[in-house]
Structure 1
Amino acid sequence: MSNERRLSLSQSARVLLVDDEPDILELLELALLRMGLEVDRADSVGAALACLNEARYDLCLTDMRLPDGEGLQIVRHIAAQNLELPIAVITAHGNMESAITALKAGAFDYLSKPVALEQLRALVKSAIQTPKSAPGLSAQGDDAQGLLGHAPAMQKVRDLISRVARSQAPVHICGESGSGKELAARLIVAQSARREHPFIAVNCGAIPENLMESEFFGYRKGAFTGADSDRDGFFQSAHGGTLFLDEVADLPLAMQVKLLRAIQEKKVRKVGATQEEAVDVRIISATHNDLARRVQEGKFRQDLYYRLNVINLTMPPLRELRDDIPEIAQRLLLRLRGASNVSFAPDALRALSTYDFPGNVRELENIIERALALCDDATIQLADLQLPPDAGSTQAAPVVADGSVALPDYLDQVERTEILKALDRTRFNRTAAARLLGVTFRTLRYRMERLGIKGADKDED
């Protein structure tokens, strides 16, 4: 083992190995000693708990099956005692159910038998570099660094983010369009041991089905027409870091099978290759769809659902954070206005606080950006927001015969909501959004201009 490898880990790091098979213990101990670590051994649950009571460790690595119980008992003991000790479990080959159970109970990560030394070294390095107590996210921080708001729902999200950041378990983030799912994923990574490594965000709904395998796993030269050189996929690009699968519900069933194997085996095979290659990737997924319902409908594999949904994080919609909307709006305005001194009129802020925001924070940002362009002086007035007529109501106003709500305004509101949903699903790729809506690109562009919807230009006319 090179000096560079030894110096990459703390010289005082101490690992507890728990297994009742002497040959496996010896193999793992030798690998860890070569990494410059101190190692203690235990061959049962009772012996392991005694070691944990007597000494302080930087990592615990335990087999799931032990003579006097299960490794899960050790996982739960560490969690109950708040030891802030990363613990990884070793499971029988193909027994993902026990690994998922351990992850839900608080395990840091898992290894499958036979243990690959490359994966062992990656796990140990990640565990020992993970901060024991990840710093919490300040509710007063900038919206680019944290999630704003004092509502209990947002405080719960921040607390869960700080806790799951210390794990390697897959996280599934659910919530409505524009509620900040990718921001939450980035904040998890920012507090984890993978913060210095790649964060690869993939919009699963924007990739053509016939290209999915090569995009995810890469391909070898000559694998198909046009493959004139080797190319890495998303998994290889995210090696050592995090792969964020946005709108994962849009994956076709055939690709779900291949993704399931990659997650379970921690290996991928490039298109046209004969050998698999190991990848060290943490998976964070997100969708605005109800994945459990899609499983019931037969549109999403149940086994993949359980592997992605080890830890669930739900982002609250903006309408549940009404008391925080003025603060969030002020922060967004501060960022968007640049060097100008534009501010909100009181009635404009009140209107924002009572609006339902079907597009959530992304819609709020679009509204403020448009208002900045429309306001005549240094104050954003209510009219500059161009909110629908029912903005002061918590429910959509009905169209009634006496004309109390104009039908064109109501239809504009419905159209605007659906366009924003489509743009959110495609990460503001207007060509893909037009396909979802069943209109041409030119029609969508015209309607966006008419309704004042602005977004990044990610495609050409």
Structure 2
Amino acid sequence: MTRQRALIVDDEPDIRELLEITLGRMKLDTRCARNVKEAREWLAKEPFDLCLTDMRLPDGTGMDLVQYIAQRHPQMPVAMITAYGSLDTAINALKSGAFDFLTKPVDLGRLRELVTTALRIQAADGKEVPVDSRLLGDSPPMRTLRKQIQKLARSQAPVYISGESGSGKELVARLIHEQGPRAEQPFVPVNCGAIPSELMESEFFGHKKGSFTGAVEDKQGLFQAANGGTLFLDEVADLPLAMQVKLLRAIQEKAVRTVGGQHEVVVDVRILCATHKDLAAEVAAERFRQDLFYRLNVIELRVPALRERREDIAELAGIMLKRLSNGDGANAATLQPDALEKLKSYRFPGNVRELENMLERAYTLCENDQITASDLRLADTSSSSEQGETSLAQIDNLEDYLEDIERKLIVQALEETRWNRTAAAQRLGLSFRSMRYRLKKLGID
């Protein structure tokens, strides 16, 4: 069986020798180059499964080589070796197409992990990736999204997944994980807005027995649980500033210290994050640290809103209705033409999640498994001016009428923020105290 082959590019003989010995013990054949010119000559002569390149080279930079390989050998994983503390350089390398990076002095355990991951990428290349049945739709934005997921799955770079609430950001994160070399390792999702601030450090990094009141046993944190795999930080903008500092350190050092622990524990975790908020705006408002934003937003992947791909609504609705009928397509309810037109003209602030909830309600209310426009219970936005004229005569009590409007807007804000009261209050421009008062007054649980 042909042994896999690695190209080592470094102008320091002792580094080349260290890398050669380590990779040789991993049963890899190696070729060495001292500069960009020699590396290109080797690439022209032989195929390689992996390239390790230093950043500083006599006739150029490792970045030049990363870009060269990305153009001519896009299936080959390239890892950058940088000086300690040059994280900005490493981030730029990831943006240019490097799949991962190492810092000097080279940690041999980390090197072996990186090489193993790179070879998994190579093993997966050439295999046709099936279209995942969970990511529905064949519109141009969705075809683009699938291609981007497939490309990002090969990298180890942090990805910031942006998009509105309900658009499917967690599903996209799962697909990046499942199509990548970490697929056999854990995928650990966490909603940052759902963890009480006083428990965050313990949840993320774990704790030792007796480290605080209630710590009756050792507990593993989310970073340790995701070791070797992917940690997905959903609603990352909801992290308090104090926790953002600790998260930044964990990402930079690739190590965590448990609450009450004496030593840091090395963790190998790929970070994916998402939020429905504009993270750049949160940075500008000083609610999110710029240095953490820079580390998380190495690559941004935007998930399109449902209103940007209206041509997918018919397919989405058909599959959702089949699912509601327990998978029996023969007994699934069908959308009447007027209902489909109504859906296609609706704005869908809650995106795919809102469509699913809407169809579930309509499926329950419809007659003879035929869903009409009236079953959807959507306001007729096309005749809003007429409704405004006639509604005045229909108002019996102004207070009740205004409370009804307030209730609808608050529920909509809660649905768009996954019932996160703090986020919903911010969206409505209310203080949390004012939001709590209104929820109690309107009887919204």
TM-score (norm 1): 0.86
The SS at the match of 1:220 is coil
Residue of structure 2 equivalent to 1:32 = 23
1:133 deviates by 4.7
The SS at the match of 1:423 is coil
1:53-452 residue pairs with structure 2 within 5 A?
53-130=44-121, 131-133=124-126, 135=128, 138=131, 142=133, 144=134, 147-338=135-326, 339=328, 340-390=331-381, 400-403=388-391, 413-423=408-418, 425=420, 438-439=435-436, 447=444
Aligned mates of 1:44, 1:351 — CA distance in 2:
63
Q: Specify whether residues 109 and 165 from structure 1 end up closer, same or farther in structure 2 by C-alpha distance, changes over 3 A only.
A: same
8 Å CA contact 2:16–2:32 kept in 1: the answer is yes
Aligned mates of 1:166, 1:25 — CA distance in 2:
26
Q: Specify whether residues 94 and 399 from structure 1 end up closer, same or farther in structure 2 by C-alpha distance, changes over 3 A only.
A: farther
8 Å CA contact 1:149–1:328 kept in 2: the answer is yes
Aligned mates of 2:167, 2:159 — CA distance in 1:
16
Amino acid across the alignment from 1:80: Q
Aligned mates of 1:168, 1:291 — CA distance in 2:
21
8 Å CA contact 1:11–1:37 kept in 2: the answer is no
Q: Deviations over 1:93-149 (max 9, x none)?
A: 1111100100000000011112211111111111101122574563xx52x2xx222
The SS at the match of 1:313 is strand
Q: Specify whether residues 200 and 317 from structure 1 end up closer, same or farther in structure 2 by C-alpha distance, changes over 3 A only.
A: same
Q: Specify whether residues 135 and 286 from structure 1 end up closer, same or farther in structure 2 by C-alpha distance, changes over 3 A only.
A: farther
The SS at the match of 1:438 is helix
1:422 deviates by 3.2
Amino acid across the alignment from 1:304: L
Q: How many residues are paired up?
A: 427
1:377 deviates by 2.1
Q: Deviations over 1:173-217 (max 9, x none)?
A: 001110110111111112101111100001011111111111111
Give unpaired runs (5+ residues) of structure 1.
Answer: 1-9, 427-434, 449-461
- Give the root-mean-square deviation of aligned CA atoms: 2.8
Q: Deviations over 1:346-400 (max 9, x none)?
A: 211111111111100000011111112222322122222122332x58xx87973
Amino acid across the alignment from 2:106: V
8 Å CA contact 1:170–1:311 kept in 2: the answer is yes
The SS at the match of 2:212 is coil
Q: Specify whether residues 187 and 327 from structure 1 end up closer, same or farther in structure 2 by C-alpha distance, changes over 3 A only.
A: same
1:30 deviates by 1.4
Amino acid across the alignment from 2:259: V
The SS at the match of 1:400 is helix
Instruction: Give the share of equivalent positions with the same residue, in percent.
Output: 51
TM superposition outliers: structure 1 runs of 4+ over 6 Å: 396-399
1:424 deviates by 5.6
Aligned mates of 2:88, 2:259 — CA distance in 1:
29
Q: Specify whether residues 27 and 424 from structure 1 end up closer, same or farther in structure 2 by C-alpha distance, changes over 3 A only.
A: farther
